[in-house]
């Protein structure tokens, strides 16, 4: 049985700021604009759940390296969205 057949959904957010959108995209998520990174992630999680892809009781967030800060903000600001974070 594949993961999809078992109801597993894997969403990957490529939030603004990685440089893919040029220098301005990078500038839009650092220092005083860092909040944009957190909002992008939380908005994407909200959208997936509202579209019926999972439920908060089954939703986990995962972030490595700098994504660790993102997970800390996510679980502290919107704990109702997640069952846990890694």
pLDDT in tens, the chain (86 residues): 788 788 788 888 876 666 777 788 777 777 888 888 899 999 999 999 999 988 898 889 998 888 899 999 999 999 999 999 99
Which residue range(s) make up the domain with 37?
A: 10-85
Q: How far apart are CA 11 and CA 48, in angstroms?
A: 8
Residue 5: inside a domain: no
Q: Is the pTM of this model over 0.85?
A: no
Residue 57: inside a domain: yes
Residue 15: inside a domain: yes
Six token digits for residue 9: 């959904």
Residue 4: inside a domain: no
Residue 1: inside a domain: no
The per-residue pLDDT for range 9-33, each reduced to its tens digit, is 888 887 666 677 778 877 777 788 8
Q: What is the secondary structure of 8-23 as a DSSP string?
A: --------TTSSTTHH
Residue 18: inside a domain: yes
Residue 36: inside a domain: yes
Enumerate the β-bridge partners of residue 60. 84
> Considering its fold, how many domains does the chain have in total?
1
Residue 25: inside a domain: yes
């Amino acid at each position: 049985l594949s993961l999809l057949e078992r109801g597993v959904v894997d969403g990957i957010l490529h939030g603004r700021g990685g440089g893919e959108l040029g220098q301005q995209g990078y500038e839009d998520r650092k220092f005083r604009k860092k909040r944009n990174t957190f909002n992008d992630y939380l908005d994407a999680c909200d959208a997936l759940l509202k579209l019926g892809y999972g439920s908060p009781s089954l939703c986990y967030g995962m972030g490595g390296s700098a994504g660790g800060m993102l997970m800390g903000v996510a679980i502290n600001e919107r704990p109702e969205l997640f069952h846990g974070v890694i």
